[in-house]
Amino acid sequence: MSAAVYEATTSAPVNIACIKYWGKRDTKLILPTNSSLSVTLDQDLLRSTTTSRADPSFTKDRLWLNGKEEEIKDGGRMDNCIKEMKRLRKVLVEDKDPNAPKLSEWKLHIVSFNTVPTAAGLASSASGFAALTTSLASLFSLPLNPSELSLIARRGSGSACRSLFGGYVAWEMGSKPDGSDSLAVEVAPQSHWPEMRAVVCVVSGEKKDVGSSVGMQLTVETSPLLQHRIKYVVPERMEKISKAIKERNFDEFAKITMADSNQFHAVALDTTPPIFYMNDVSRNLIALVEEYNRVCLEKTGHLGAAYTFDAGPNAVIYTLPEHIKAITELVLYFFPVPSAPAERSTQASAVGFTDVLNIFPE
Ligand code: PMV
């Protein structure tokens, strides 16, 4: 009889925030200074796929990311997630069932692939840690719901907690010191507002200069504007954008999304030393969307698109199906892809259409 194989493969999509998370009140537990809200891009193109295997013959936990072995640092984020999942396996499964194999005592081999430019401000860590968490939950047969799993994904990368759900997702900052109420909740499923589209404009696939962890803590330590944002701006925006999503009100959704992206980049600039995530191409994309919206407002009384930028120069433009053709044509007109259309990959999807436009491929 051949020995049982304990292995699980899952995948998780990226999410792009409309209300940005920027700042931790607890860096070890990854507890944020404000709540945030995102849309999960639920399609094949931008996601992480992770396979975990437990075996008594393995001598240490090992990780391969995009085909290259990475060190799992003792006490690091990956290590914290793995240890927490093993602890849950023991408490929730092995302690209750004496016949359950003691997977919590075995070492793991984990293989993960991203189809997202890693660390280019397109949330590869979010899909990566969400996929790691779901793959270990499946391997360990943990009876946990997505909000409960989001508590563990959060320990890997804050924004990862939101990738446990599809559709429209809030990360509630919580108030408990142990972080047990800092978790992701569904605001609305994808099916509630399936018309939402995301046009992803890849301005650069390079690694950013200032990583989000270092960047956000510099902001927490030095930016007076962040304190204003946390106290007076985000709580109201969270309520308003949740309402806009529930009512499928694109004008309100777009206005808040763009304002929040701009305030996030303003607090980055308000940091000492200042952090610049956007570049000239990013700023020109903002000008393009603003101009497009001006014309839309004039002609129809409604906005047509909303830009948002994470910690990098790449743009995500949220829009509706009737604007997709105009938006992609305008972007390609002003930022032509040298070898289009071969470098332009297009993907139709459940949540929305995502068009990845390599504006300045390396
Ligand atoms: O989860 P992190 O540490 O990669 O931080 C993500 C921060 C932003 O992407 C800029 C905002 C967000 O809410 O996703």
Q: What is the pLDDT of residues 85-119, one digit of tens each?
A: 999 999 999 999 999 999 999 999 999 998 865 54
Say which CATH architecture domain 197-358 belongs to: 2-Layer Sandwich (3.30)
Ligand 1 pocket member 114 (CB < 6 A) = no
Candidate of 14, 20, 229, 277 to mutate for ligand 1, largest count of ligand atoms within 8 Å of Cβ: 20
Alpha carbon separation from 255 to 32, 336, 343 (Å, rounded): 24, 27, 31
| In the chain, domain spans | 6-191, 197-358
Q: Parallel, antiparallel, or unpaired: how do β-strands 107-114 and 62-65 relate?
A: parallel
Ligand 1 nearest atom to the CA of residue 310, by list position? 10
Q: How far apart are CA 146 and CA 12, in angstroms?
A: 12
Which DSSP helix (H) or strand (E) runs through 218? helix 212-222
**What is the average per-residue pLDDT within 58-62?**
97
Model pLDDT for residues 4-20, shown as the tens digit of each residue: 899 999 999 999 999 99
- Contact indicator for 104, 87 with CB cutoff of 8 Å: yes
Predicted confidence band of residue 200 (pLDDT cuts 50, 70, 90): confident
DSSP 165: S
Distance 91 CA to ligand 1 centre (A): 31
* ipTM for the assembly: 0.99
The third-level CATH classification (topology) of the domain covering 6-191 is: Ribosomal Protein S5; domain 2 (3.30.230)
Strands 168-172 and 183-188: antiparallel
Nearest residue to 121 via CA among 236, 5, 16: 16
- Band (2; pLDDT cuts 50, 70, 90): low
Report CA torsion sign: 171, 174, 180, 185.
negative
Ligand 1 contacts CB of residue 125 (under 6 A)? yes
158 CA to middle of ligand 1, Å?
Answer: 7
